[in-house]
């Protein structure tokens, strides 16, 4: 092949590809080549497109090209297409009133509830120590605010929020580290010395659960409702609006009456527990998965003027299973 000194014309596309494949570029020199701005390559699925010529950009090809005297490729930066969020009619969804997150929070846990928590926390500290904790509702709310911030930032240890190098003003300026630990260690919702329901496995946090549930069952109920189970964050019923309308925390034996479990089974027994607040007005439809769907569940809901739609296991409807088409026939 002629050297650059005797070359009178540029290499063709086929010659360039052959040189790149063999990696033999020792006879090439760019001393006499005219300065030409290289075309902007386009990258598509690991291939560079240069004037109709596709060049592989795999690591092996990149290593071969880096060892040669080829000019580096230049990439052109283009602006991303900005997509605007869809317009939501928030005023229509909130009856013309736009509320901030704190307003929604206090609808579920009002200030009377936190006043109760402050009193129970004070009592618990006095039961363990001779000194007074001297706390109030505002300080308990500051503790809750701190816990929410920590749950958002998620540092590995709580004490790091007061670290000199990792100082988080939203936390460190709210209360001192020692005061935070003191309040957190004494936080209580009930009086341990009073008579409590020993059969209730959640009695220590029962006021917290009741406050949240009372707000849930007061929300307007849509026609289409869903029943489902989850480990996190809740086990309950939600509407087509995505709001939790009722829930039950499963604590093992005793969550539902033994008579309901014996008569209907666990799934239908839980379903009966969750639909107890739905009006019997022929205006609601329950959607559920196969755990809550059977001939017994349908009959139970029809007796309460509630309709049900859901997936079902064939052995739970043996008497009518032959009436349905199999999956292969659909």
pLDDT, tens digit, for every residue of 53-63? 444 444 444 44
pLDDT digits (tens, 9 = 90+) for 228-284: 887 766 555 566 677 889 999 988 888 888 888 888 888 899 999 999 999 988 889
Cα(116)–Cα(127) distance, integer angstroms:
17
Please give the mean pLDDT across all residues of the chain: 77
Q: Tell me the DSSP string of 147-195.
A: HHHHHHH--SSGGGGG-STT--HHHHTTS-HHHHHHHHHH--SS-TTS-
Residues 31-50 as b or e (16 or more Cβ within 10 Å = b): eeeeeeeeeebeeeeeeeee
Residue 18 has pLDDT above 90, yes or no: no
Alpha carbon distance 268, 257 (integer Å): 12
Query: Is residue 181 scored above 70 in pLDDT?
Result: yes
Stretch 26-51: mean pLDDT: 46
Provide the terminal-to-terminal Cα distance of the chain, rounded to the nearest Å.
69
Residue 132 has pLDDT above 70, yes or no: yes
Q: Where do the domains of the chain lie?
A: 13-66, 101-186, 217-329
Runs of H (alpha helix) within 32-176:
59-66, 90-93, 101-108, 111-128, 137-153, 169-172
Q: Residue 46: its pLDDT value, please?
A: 43
| pTM to 2 decimal places | 0.64
User: Is pLDDT larger for residue 10 or for residue 7?
Assistant: 10
Q: Please state the rounded mean pLDDT for residues 134-156.
A: 93
What distance in Å separates the CA atoms of residue 237 and residue 249, rounded to the nearest whole number?
12
């Amino acid at each position: 092949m002629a050297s650059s000194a005797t070359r009178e014309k540029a290499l063709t596309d086929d010659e360039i590809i052959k040189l790149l494949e063999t990696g033999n570029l020792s006879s090439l020199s760019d001393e006499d080549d005219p300065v030409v701005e290289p075309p902007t390559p386009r990258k598509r699925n690991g291939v560079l497109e240069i004037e109709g010529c596709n060049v592989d950009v795999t690591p092996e090809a990149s290593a071969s090209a880096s060892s040669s005297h080829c000019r580096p490729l230049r990439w052109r930066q283009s602006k991303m297409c900005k997509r605007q969020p869809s317009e939501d009619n928030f005023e229509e969804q909130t009856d013309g009133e736009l509320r901030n997150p704190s307003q929604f929070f206090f609808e579920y846990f009002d200030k009377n509830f936190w006043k109760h928590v402050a009193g129970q926390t004070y009592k618990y500290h006095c039961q363990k120590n001779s000194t007074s904790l001297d706390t109030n509702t505002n300080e308990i709310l500051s503790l809750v605010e701190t816990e929410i911030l920590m749950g958002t930032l998620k540092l590995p240890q709580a004490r790091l929020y007061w670290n000199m190098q990792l100082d988080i003003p939203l936390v460190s300026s709210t209360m001192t580290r020692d005061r935070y630990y003191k309040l957190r260690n004494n936080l209580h919702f009930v009086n341990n010395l009073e008579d409590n329901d020993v059969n209730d496995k959640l009695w220590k946090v029962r006021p917290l659960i009741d406050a949240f549930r009372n707000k849930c069952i007061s929300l307007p109920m849509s026609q289409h409702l869903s029943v489902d189970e989850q480990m996190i964050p809740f086990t309950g019923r939600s509407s087509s609006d995505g709001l939790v309308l009722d829930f039950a925390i499963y604590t093992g034996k005793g969550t539902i009456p033994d008579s309901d479990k014996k008569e209907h089974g666990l799934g239908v027994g839980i379903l009966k527990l969750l639909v107890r607040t739905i009006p019997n007005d022929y205006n609601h439809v329950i959607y559920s998965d196969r755990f809550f769907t059977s001939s017994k569940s349908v009959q139970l809901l029809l007796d309460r003027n509630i309709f049900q739609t859901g997936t079902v296991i064939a052995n739970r409807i043996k008497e009518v299973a032959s009436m349905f088409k199999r999956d292969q026939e659909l």
